[in-house]
Every structure is written in structure tokens, then in C-alpha cells.
Amino acid sequence: MADRHQFSAEAFKRLKNEFDDLTNRGRIEIAQKIESARELGDLSENGDYHAAKEEQGKMEGRINQLAALLEDAEIVEIDASAQVVQAGCIIGIRYEGDDEVEKYLLGSIEEKRDGLDPMSPGSPIGRALMGHAVGDTVKFEAPTGMLSVEVVSIEV
């Protein structure tokens, strides 16, 4: 079985709406563009046709990606009373020996929030941070060796 993709209810709805739009309106519009370009004549030298076919390929790739995400989707609810790192929360961490606090959204790249980079809950650091509280120091194995981070803040 494939890994479950965890999303907030809001992100799931946004992805489902995008999927529905692309599979309905998007496919109709691209088919119309391709048909209009075909009417211009010789397809081997028809820039409009090739551009429309390229756009169609990119759109179908996104449709396939969305279908895979939605098929294995799990909607997660954040427990605001838990006060521990969990999928969907915004965490502030400080690497050992560093003064700067870095903030991340712990979740899928599809969650997208302005000004925040996503951190996958399935990544080594994401897995290590899960369940920890503010003030905890967490060690995890990175490609460059063992690293240590302190949980500075948790926002739900």
C-alpha cells in the first residue's frame, strides 16, 4: 500500500477543486485549442499546435499527480490542546550552535502557506520532531551526520 498523504481539510478541498476543474474545464479548453491549431494547417510547422500539445501534457501530468495524492489522502485534524509537534502545525526550530529560529509548516508541499517552507512529516527531521514539545531538543540523522535542533515554538 502507498504512503498516506496527510492534508488539512482546507488543502484537501483546494486540491479536489483543482482536480475537478482540470478534468472538466481544463480538458475542454485544451481540446478546443488543439482543434483550432489543427485548422491552421501543416502540423509539423504549426507552433500553436505544438504549444497546445505541450500545455496538454503538463496539464495531464498535474491531473495524474492530483489523482495520486487524492487517492491516498488522509485528512488530519490538528489537536490544538496537545501542545506537541504534529502534522499541520507551524514549528519554530533552532539548530544547535545557531541563534536564528527557522519556521516551517510541518506538512505536504501542497499545503502551501505564504512565507513558510514546508517540512515533510516523513523526512528524517519531521519524523524526529513529531510528538515533541517546546523546549525539547531532538537529534536526528541527516545525510551529513547527526544534527540536533531545539523546538522553540509550536503554532496550531
Check residue 97 and give left, alpha or beta (phi > 0: left; psi -120 to 50: alpha): left
For residues 16 and 69, state if they share a domain: yes
DSSP class of residue 84 equals S
Of residues 133, 149, 106, 154, the one with CA closest to residue 8 = 106
Contacts of 74 (CB under 8 A, 6+ apart): 4, 5, 6, 7
For residues 99 and 137, state if they share a domain: yes
- 82 within a domain of the structure (yes/no): no
Q: What is the pLDDT along the chain (156 residues), one digit of tens a residue?
A: 456 788 888 889 999 999 999 999 999 999 999 998 888 777 777 788 889 999 999 999 999 999 999 998 888 887 777 789 988 889 999 999 999 999 999 988 888 777 889 998 888 999 999 999 999 999 999 888 999 999 999 987
CATH of the domain at 42: 1.10.287.180
CATH of the domain at 138: 3.10.50.30
Domain end call among 75, 102, 119: 75
For residues 65 and 102, state if they share a domain: no
Of residues 151, 100, 97, the one with CA closest to residue 125 = 151
Contact 152, 140 (CB under 8 A): no
pLDDT of residue 1: 43
- 147 within a domain of the structure (yes/no): yes
Domain end call among 75, 102, 130: 75
pTM for the model: 0.72
Distance CA 113, CA 118 (A): 8
For residues 11 and 71, state if they share a domain: yes
Domain that holds residue 33: 5-75
- 104 within a domain of the structure (yes/no): yes
Domain end call among 47, 75, 103: 75
- 80 within a domain of the structure (yes/no): no
Q: What does 133-149 look like in DSSP terms, one character per residue?
A: -TT-EEEEEETTEEEEE
How many domains, in total, are found in the chain? Answer: 2
Of residues 82, 91, 77, 88, the one with CA closest to residue 125 = 91
